[in-house]
A and B are shown apart, each in its own frame.
Chain A
């Protein structure tokens, strides 16, 4: 059989299929990426955010049949931008945007263009982040692109170029703990970076199709595409992985032979150990092939993708924005907040739209754009109220048509509420907010920075962080992204956290209690706190947020 690695370029159709395959593979790793969270609080949503981003991206190209590479990459990037959720999703969307821009005049994708597009992608992503942090998805994208740039040449086949990129990305991923101490301390690699590597691996393992645009019409090639189309009756098949151990194993031969029995093939390793990952209709075929070859098999995993697809996480569409004003206002306010109580607080303070979301549930660029559309105001402020939502909000702001949208980088609802009160105060003072948006913003920024916040969450697993031994079930108090204390009860961890954070100038403690806390319980807690801190004023407010029994503001 002749080698299938002769083609040096792919067209739009092949690119589309490769993307479909990569997303299908990515979906299998969502939980694994989610679990790579560096904090033992339940903020592991990197995988689901990236997956949603990719799904939305694919929805833009799923109907394309005869488009060129420029069109496919442009639309895919557009979809990613619209669906981008969370930091990693947003950075991914920027990578795709940069990649697509490089290909805007290309009909087909060859190795030199691919290398340039990867470089452009990394540049775009870096530019999208105000202060890029190394040891993240950014580093991996950049280092992989740099390595590819060093090795790519005109005669190299595209699959080989992709192979170089993947290997460089894998190596870079392994180095992330060296660059980002928190990763090392937690014994993980960066979750966003892992997501990128898995996506690239997925592209690479679609090898056969990436290489053979002519095969796009074959039933085998249609498999992964159908995976993205929930209305299709097509079978999803089985996902088979195993390790072949032996001597003189021929990777190229194995890849070629297994290419005949399934799709989304990934064959990596050396002549003594080869990892095989393939999607097939009949899981017995690749295993049988491996046994027949004389290799020893290890780590055999067979999964039913149909069942996985049915159980896949679904994007919540229960999205509600509340347009309140008929006449066009000079300016309006959009906030992101979890829980009905916090939503009411933002609305009570005059927020025109509140997007449900927060930790573990990041709204997409599209969610923001829908909300922006719903507010009839000449300019808008957005309070993202979460570190992982700021970038998405900024993307939405940049893409809002004909309106100035300012994103105030609030990292907690506590900050958001302070900023909102500051805006109302600024209005009260008779200042013209619409004529002085910048002064309004600086007032809001100052107010957001003045308030301290403590979040109480329940640890979801045992861990060791910042010198603290944390047991699963402990109540963990964090503040400004730092772990403060862990305690066996809410009260203990709250008291310890207050002792750590309280300063002489603090007068007011606001407690927003979550959806699993009874008001009676919260009131009792306040009574005991007021006993300890008789000089402080306490304000108890129903927040209704999930994940956090209490969100606390100190000012």
Chain B
């Protein structure tokens, strides 16, 4: 009987850095950013993040984003199976916010539905990343599918993703989170402190100034300590991210990453924002 390896896969919205992806043999399918009539895969190579965010404020039309095609999803899974994967755990951006899971489901059906387990991460950016990371580690260790799925669930329960939305103008134009936008109002500049959970983005607090928003973000982050893993998230605001990390240095674990959020998400949120993804130590208990 041949060894049936479990392959972990995800879409590019998980924001895992290349070294983790490569070391743990994680397969990533890129989502797309559409600028004017160009559709660019958000794979960290063909779309330059820095250049994209610098140009975003002056773009004539706000870029849109899209899921991979079903054909690409099918090819993505077929490649993994051809490479000897026995089963695939495929972890994705929430169905509530994106069409990715739907196309991945179509792709899986076209290949072998029984061998692909689709997971709605109910999270965004590194909130997905933590799940993918933990799943891949377990897969490398030879854990069972059930153990991996159970670990993903535990990671999810111990994860928080918070962010300061510097300006609501991008979310307003994006139309993806209308409930959030409608609640915040549109006439004044307000910086909501948002929480990503259960596949949705909700406001936790509203501030008109950055410093008060950042104080709130800091308090929320500190409430999660002790941490197993931490990502400081930013959109074209590395200086802000580093300054924030300095302010919570005492609770930052060994595994702390500063992550520039992918354009697929960033196009909807806009430059300037910072956030955190936290994973509590408790998840391992």
| A contacts, CB < 8 Å to B | 344-345, 348-350, 417-418, 421, 424-425, 428-430, 505, 507-508, 510, 537, 539, 541, 555
Contacts and interface: CB of A to CB of B under 8 A. Distances in A.
A424 B209 CA distance: 15
A91 B148 CA distance: 73
Contacts of B202: 428
Contact of A541 (B187, B203, B205, B211): B187
B187 A344 contact: yes
B208 interface: yes
A349 B207 CA distance: 13
A555 B185 contact: no
B192 interface: yes
Contacts of B176: none
Point out which of A428, A430, A507, A537 has the most chain B C-beta atoms below 10 A from its C-beta: A428
Contact of B206 (A344, A424, A507): A424
Nearest to B205: A425
Contacts of A505: 211
Given A345-B188, A539-B188, A541-B188, A429 B209 contact: no
9 contacts: A344-B187, A345-B187, A348-B185, A349-B185, A425-B207, A428-B205, A429-B205, A430-B204, A541-B187
Interface in B151-210: 183, 185-190, 192, 202-210
Contact of B204 (A348, A429, A507, A537): A429
Going nearest first, the 7 A-B pairs with the smallest beta carbon separation are A348-B185, A425-B206, A428-B203, A539-B189, A507-B209, A348-B187, A425-B205
A507 B185 contact: no
A301 B120 CA distance: 87
Secondary structure class of chain B's binding surface, majority of residues: mixed
Contact of A421 (B186, B190, B211): B190
Contacts of A507: 209-211
A189 B110 CA distance: 89
Interface residues of B, number: 18
Given A428-B192, A428-B202, A428-B203, A555 B209 contact: yes
A430 B206 CA distance: 12
Contacts of B210: 507, 537
Contacts of A424: 183, 206
A428 B204 contact: yes
A417 B185 CA distance: 12
A510 B183 CA distance: 20
Contact of B188 (A348, A425, A430, A537): A348
A541 B187 CA distance: 7
A22 B188 CA distance: 48
B185 A350 contact: yes
B188 A510 contact: yes
Nearest to A418: B208
A476 B188 CA distance: 25
Given A348-B185, A425-B206, 8 more contacts: A418-B208, A421-B206, A421-B207, A424-B206, A428-B202, A429-B204, A430-B204, A537-B210
Contacts of B187: 344-345, 348, 541
Interface string B201-231: 0111111111100000000000000000000
B188 to A, nearest CB: 6
Contacts of B207: 421, 425
B203 A555 contact: no
Contacts of B190: 421
Contacts of B208: 418, 421, 508, 510, 555
Nearest to B202: A428
A507 B190 CA distance: 13
A449 to B, nearest CB: 14
A113 B190 CA distance: 59
Contacts of A425: 205-207
A507 B208 CA distance: 9
A36 to B, nearest CB: 37
Contacts of B183: 350, 424, 428
A430 B190 CA distance: 18
Nearest to B207: A425
A350 B207 CA distance: 16
B198 to A, nearest CB: 14
A538 to B, nearest CB: 9
A349 B183 CA distance: 8
Point out which of B188, B205, B210 has the most chain A C-beta atoms below 10 A from its C-beta: B188
A345 B190 CA distance: 12
A348 B186 contact: yes
B209 A508 contact: yes
B189 A537 contact: yes
Contacts of B192: 428
A437 B45 CA distance: 53
Contacts of B189: 508, 510, 537, 539
A523 to B, nearest CB: 15
A344 B186 CA distance: 10
A470 B263 CA distance: 55
A503 B20 CA distance: 46
Contacts of A429: 204-205
B271 to A, nearest CB: 14
A184 to B, nearest CB: 40
A89 B186 CA distance: 37
A421 B209 CA distance: 12
Contacts of B211: 505, 507
Contacts of B209: 507-508, 555
A350 B186 CA distance: 11
Nearest to A538: B189
B239 to A, nearest CB: 14
A513 to B, nearest CB: 13
Nearest to A342: B187
B223 to A, nearest CB: 12
A363 to B, nearest CB: 23
A421 B206 CA distance: 7
A507 B187 CA distance: 18
Nearest to B184: A424
A508 B208 CA distance: 7
Point out which of A421, A430, A539, A541 has the most chain B C-beta atoms below 10 A from its C-beta: A421
Contacts of B204: 428-430
Nearest to B192: A428
Contacts of A510: 188-189, 208
Nearest to B203: A428
A345 B187 CA distance: 6
A450 to B, nearest CB: 9
B161 to A, nearest CB: 16
Given A505-B211, A507-B211, A417 B188 contact: yes
A418 B188 CA distance: 11
Point out which of B183, B209, B210 has the most chain A C-beta atoms below 10 A from its C-beta: B209
A537 B188 CA distance: 12
A507 B212 CA distance: 10
